Amino acid sequence: MKQPRYRYRLYLLTLLVLVGCGVLLTKLYEVQIERQEEFRELMPDNYEVRIREPGVRGEITDRNGVTLAKNLIDYQVVFDLEEIHRDYLEHSKSEKTEEEEDTPEEKKDIVAIINEWVRPRLAVHGLDTSYSARALSAHYKTHGGLVPYVFRDDLTYEQFAHFAEHNLELPGVYVRVAPRRVYPFGALASHVVGFLKQWEKGDVPPEFKHYIGDARGIEGIEATLDQYLRGSEGIRTILKDEKGKTLRDVDYMRPGPGSEVALTIDARVQYLTESVLRRAGRAAAVVMDPRTGEVLAMASVPDFDPNDFIPAITTEKYQNYRSNKGAPFLNRAISNFPPGSTFKIPTAIAGCLNGQHGAYCNCIGYTAYGKAKIRCWKTYGHGNLGLAEAIQRSCNPYFMKMANTMGPEKMVETFQNLGLGKTTGIRLPNESPGILPGSIEWQRRFRDKSMTPAFTGMLSIGQGDSEATPLQMASIISAVANGGRFYQPRIVRSVTHPTLGVQIADRAKLKLDLLKEGLDPTHLETIRTGMRLAANKVGGTARRASLADIVIGAKTGTAQTVDLGIKTHVAWTVAFAPYDSPRYVVVVAVKRGSSGGAVAGPLVKLILTGLFAQEEGHKLPLAKLSPYQGNLDIIDAISLPDDNQLAATFSDNGETGDEASSIVIVKPEPEVPENLPNPTIKPEVDQRGSVIPRAIPVQE
């Protein structure tokens, strides 16, 4: 009886063994066969990392191919801080004894690791330098290993080539080539060209573990044509081992170039215009080709050096710019000014379109609107005047009578057709539309006002709420100069990509033909004649702008305003030349100028003198410009050089700008742009006095 019982136990044990082996084999099959790939992926192995590199930004040139913005090559040492941190911890762990492994490790921050683990090894290759510990620590906390930290960007090619052969000795430390934006002529055309802002953490897409972004334009052409200037991205694929060490490059798609932007400006004419404008404290000037609407020069002072923002501007420099009451970031050429008597030209056009060409006015020195009077600058009056002579002498009553005869609706309609009260559409950021009294926008803004006869009269002479930009006035004067064709003003001549070809073509855009709108050619010639008399005949308000041997047409303006709490004026002169075959329109507006004739006129004269000297074969100078700080001085007059034939002072300087002071509520003119640039700011020097690194700073 005992033998069978023993046998049962043996059978049971055998069964258990067989079941256990079956379960084990089943599990082994699942792990080794069915889930092989799953577990293989969990094993440490070599892996690939994709690194995104920025495209090569396109160059910006003037109309003759002179480079205004280009790229230089920076040879850089960059850190992958996460990889360095990981390598340091692994190395520290491998060197610990059994006793040390049980001892809790004192945590070292990334700065200590860099100083202990990386810098001594860089010193062996002659690549160590001082740096900002604060900046590196903030960069690591913000970006980790996602964004490389630029330790140095001033390597020579020899240093770069040497380290490229030894970089595998330092995990997480790399050398790379990166383009750096440079503006060869400094502050020249700074408001037109603009500058860049470095990429930030928010720009990093999730598909890249390592990412080097594109700087983006935030001012000038760099901003408005950023999509064209940016090159196509490059992607480098690197093979790393299980410890994160780089083994080799697997694949590399090189970054592509961006488009080249050719501007309409002439760098030498720009240099001439800016040099002349620096005789004033705060001013703007536009030089335009009336035959095409191309801007040959656009200047605004004070200005800035865009190189200060590459790759980042110091806190001190940026504070100096921002504390400058002259607002150096404001492009005054496309900003609002009270226009003064320059508005008499569009008023004359409106009058000629509405049957007022032959009107006469007996100027007695003022025009009364109820108990209020708007004076003429010539207090005892001009007597009986026609249109040409009214332009020559800048008679206020004549144009106020003309405006009220045709009515505010027709005035506003013509002014809008001439581009007033709206932006011109030039490819520059932050362009102001101006203010056109009587327009829908004006009515929405000033709900308590209506176009009374007094307001209509003030519109005709550019007083009251009226505001315009120098660019707008240059476009209007161009239409007068060229026979009635109103062109879209252009600052971009062409945009060309190396492979895609022409993206923006060199083509003038005619927006309005005044002759087709009903303006009689003889009436337009009357307006031109008035401007010729203003510049060349005794009694003309623009005599200081005239040239000795070239006939020009011109008009002055002096507008009353309040500037930084001081009651003062904006001085204007608008001109075209030569009279019979106009090739240039020059507009100058100066803040705190006593009158258009005494202040802006001489500046226009100097610009025109240089333009015609260039036509005669004299090569205008071109050099790097330092930023001009400007000033807040009140300017009584601009003195001409001693050798100028028209350096003598004229007794008849023209309008004062105060004629409508009895009824005009003078509003302060805004000086600081609404949207200040938000550049990349360099971190300050840390507590130990280390040099600030030229690295991508953290935006907090």
Q: In which element (H, E) is residue 235 found?
A: strand 234-240
Tokens of 580: 């019979």
Would you call 530 exposed, middle or buried from its count of C-beta atoms within 10 A (0-12, 13-18, 19+)?
A: buried
CB-based contacts of 146: which residues, under 8 Å, 6+ apart? 82, 201, 204, 209, 210, 211
Would you call 19 exposed, middle or buried from its count of C-beta atoms within 10 A (0-12, 13-18, 19+)?
A: exposed
Looking at 308-395, list the stretches that DSSP marks H as alpha helix, in order from N- to C-terminal side. Answer: 315-323, 344-353, 387-393
Q: In which element (H, E) is residue 300 found?
A: strand 294-301
Domains of the chain, start order: 48-102+110-263 (3.90.1310.10), 267-615 (3.40.710.10)
Cα 571 to chain centroid, rounded: 26
Tokens of 318: 């940026």
Cα 224 to chain centroid, rounded: 8
Among the listed residues 351, 283, 292, 268, the one whose alpha carbon sits nearest the alpha carbon of residue 481: 292
Is it true that the peptide bond before 120 is cis, omega within 30 degrees of 0? no
Using DSSP's 3-state secondary structure scheme, residue 313 falls into: strand
Q: What is the pLDDT of residue 42?
A: 63
Neighbours of 66 (CB within 10 A): 17
User: Residue 559 is which amino acid?
Assistant: A
Contact yes or no for 478/347 (Cβ under 8 A):
no
Q: What is the pLDDT of residue 134?
A: 84
Contact yes or no for 503/495 (Cβ under 8 A):
yes
- Express the helix, strand and coil content of the chain in percent, nearest 5 each: 35, 20, 45
Q: What is the pLDDT of residue 245?
A: 63
User: Residue 179 is which amino acid?
Assistant: P
Q: In which element (H, E) is residue 14 found?
A: helix 2-29
Q: What's the longest Cα–Cα distance across the chain?
A: 152
Q: What is the pLDDT of residue 671?
A: 60
Question: What's the half-sphere exposure (Cβ side, CA atoms, 13 Å) at 15?
Answer: 6
Q: What is the pLDDT of residue 146?
A: 65
Q: What is the pLDDT of residue 582?
A: 98
pLDDT < 50 positions in the chain: 1, 102-105, 644-653, 685-700
Rounded to whole angstroms, the Cα distance separating 374 from 168 reads 82
Q: What is the pLDDT of residue 33?
A: 76
